[in-house]
Amino acid sequence: MFSTLDWIIILIYLLFAFSVGVFMTRRASAGLASYFTADRSLPWWWLGTSMAATTFAADTPLAVAGIVAKDGIAGNWFWWSWIFGFVAITVFFALRWSRSGVLTDVELIELRYGGRPASILRGFKAFYMGVIINCIILGWVFRAMSKITTPFIHWEDLLSPAAYSRLTALWPSFLIFDNLNNTLTVLIIFLVVVAYSSMGGIRGVILTDLFQFTLAMLTAILFAVLAVDYVGGMDNLLQSLQSLYPQKSDDILRLMPHFDNALLPFEVFLIFVGMQWWARYNSDGSGYLAQRMNTARTPADAEKGTLWFTLANFCLRTWPWVVVGLVALVVFPLDDPARFHALGASLDGDREMGYPVLMKLILPSGLLGLTFVSLMAAFMSTVDTHINWGASYLVNDVYKRFLRPRAGDRELVWMSRLSVVFISMLAISIAAQVKSIENAWKFLVAMGAGLGLPQLLRWLWQRANAWTEIAGMVIAFFSSIILYPLYPEVRSEYLMFWIILLSSAGAIAATLLTPPVEQSVLEGFARKTGAIGFWNGLPDPARPRRELISRLWLWVLGVITTFCGMFGIGYLILLQWTVGSIMVVIAGICFGGMLRGMSGDID
């Protein structure tokens, strides 16, 4: 249980978040552009930090702890491989999203394709992404917060056993995450999120994100330092891993997998780095990333903000979580989690619980409350982004586009707030069905795999049309819901490989078998966003290809910068000073080269 000081810290933070929503209500009420894009007025550091805060999430530390226990440090290549994609978003697409002037990424569909298939795709994709995909994401985030609260808050003691028993009898079973105790805690936090995000719009969301990311990052680092100190320092941590796991300690600590890695098969690693990153549902920055880029005051701010997000997301966030995951392997051994501490019993069969249980074991009063608030803030940051983003689809791309094209700003803002509440209620019901954060991650990647290649092609290839996206999305969706139940014992990465292959082949076939987009529509899109890649019908078709080649060099520099920066920091933490120092120096050199080649210097 929390101490009085812990409770005070938690309540102060909840009051702060709610106050931000109240403070931003008037500005958010000006219209859709203000509610969902902050009137395109934000500087790069603000929108980039907001992206990082959203991806920080409460689920990620738990998932990383589970990955380290299952597949070692190298298991994180599941999400490290996204570096290729996020750098691509930075150098190829961030400027173009900002130039497009759209309110949501699905609005771009009609700008790019035109015609009836595009309007149908826009409406369907708004519902598919804003409701189905979005609520699956929120479901695993709810699941994570439910796990985090388990060791700390006990409503039976707070309410009295009799009152809690009556509430248990009345509560609907389909709205329970694990148990009623966790459900009550998460729902109370969630109600605060719904309140401030519905009132304050995207400005309220992003303002709280700035504070949430700073707090979450600082407390994650402090927790990792205290966790290492708890086991006697980094030297002792490494020696303990070798002692407890003599046959696989090298594989646990390895950053790069090898052919005979017992924890992470090399072919799985190849799927991560060769396919998964470009097949993700937001391969071109679609979704909440595009929403953030569309809040930028200039296209250059969109580009710089996305670069800052990429570096923060991988170079800063990775290692506090990995270190805590390693400490959990020592304090709560895999073969007998309760060998050294009785609290380890809660990890039996669920290694994702290592993070919150270690918090309870190590952290003192006050610092425990602050660390819990940081994870609560990470949860709130992710949830507020997703419900605001989902509401933007329902209002801008369904209600305004198809149902009430002449609706005024006041009506649209109120519909936006109602949509926030609707998505929130639906997400609660889905969250009760999510059992594993890591599995939900991987199922989502597979189900959205059909969107990856088509969304890249719409920017890079003139021939892509609405049917490219429709075919990829439909094939991936049905492949996922057939293959996953049919082969439950097969590693999800192998299933994902076939889903990506089938959906990508189907998307290209559909493109070639259907009519191309009208030339006037293509020229309008190219003028507005700046064509890149293979656009043969334009007055100067060589220019988009030259732009692609020049940006490819920036992409290479960005990938090297991010990987070397992330691995360099990791090797230094693991006391491999020489290789760590070399990688950090390489990262700095490549980063300097990348900045010189981008649209302008960071102010």
DSSP 246-305: TTTHHHHH-SS--TT-SSS-HHHHHHIIIIIHHHSTTTTSTTHHHHHHTTBSSHHHHHHH
Q: Which residue has the higher pLDDT, 396 or 135?
A: 396
pLDDT in tens, 461-470: 999 999 999 9
Instruction: Read off the CATH number of the domain in which 473 is found.
Output: 1.20.1730.10
Is position 103 within any domain? Answer: yes
What is the arithmetic mean of pLDDT over 388-404? 91
Residue type for 496, please?
M
Q: How many domains does the chain have?
A: 1
Name the pLDDT band for 442 (thresholds 50, 70, 90): low
pLDDT at residue 259 above 80? Answer: no
pLDDT at residue 536 above 80? Answer: yes
Is position 194 within any domain? Answer: yes
Is position 603 within any domain? Answer: no
Q: Which residue has the higher pLDDT, 425 or 392?
A: 392
Q: Please state, rounded to an integer, the average pLDDT across all residues of the chain.
A: 88
Asked if 399 and 407 count as a contact pair (C-beta separation under 8 A), the reply is yes
Residue type for 199, please?
M
- CB-side neighbour CA atoms (13 Å) of 555: 16
Residue 42: helix, strand or coil by DSSP?
strand
Name the pLDDT band for 251 (thresholds 50, 70, 90): confident
Asked if 420 and 444 count as a contact pair (C-beta separation under 8 A), the reply is no
Q: Which residue has the higher pLDDT, 498 or 29?
A: 498
Name the pLDDT band for 149 (thresholds 50, 70, 90): confident
Task: Give the per-residue pLDDT at 54.
Answer: 83
- Lowest average pLDDT, out of 317-321, 383-387, 531-535, goes to 383-387
Name the pLDDT band for 439 (thresholds 50, 70, 90): low
Residue among 185, 183, 207, 146 nearest 16 (CA): 207
The percent of residues in the chain predicted with pLDDT above 70, rounded, is 95
- Lowest average pLDDT, out of 202-211, 451-460, 559-568, goes to 202-211
pLDDT at residue 234 above 70? Answer: yes
What is the arithmetic mean of pLDDT over 222-248? 94
Is position 50 within any domain? Answer: yes
Asked if 109 and 401 count as a contact pair (C-beta separation under 8 A), the reply is no
Query: Which residues form the domain of 380?
Result: 4-597
Task: Give the per-residue pLDDT at 297.
Answer: 94
Asked if 74 and 264 count as a contact pair (C-beta separation under 8 A), the reply is yes
pLDDT in tens, 446-463: 667 788 999 999 999 999
Task: Give the per-residue pLDDT at 601.
Answer: 38
pLDDT at residue 133 above 90? Answer: no
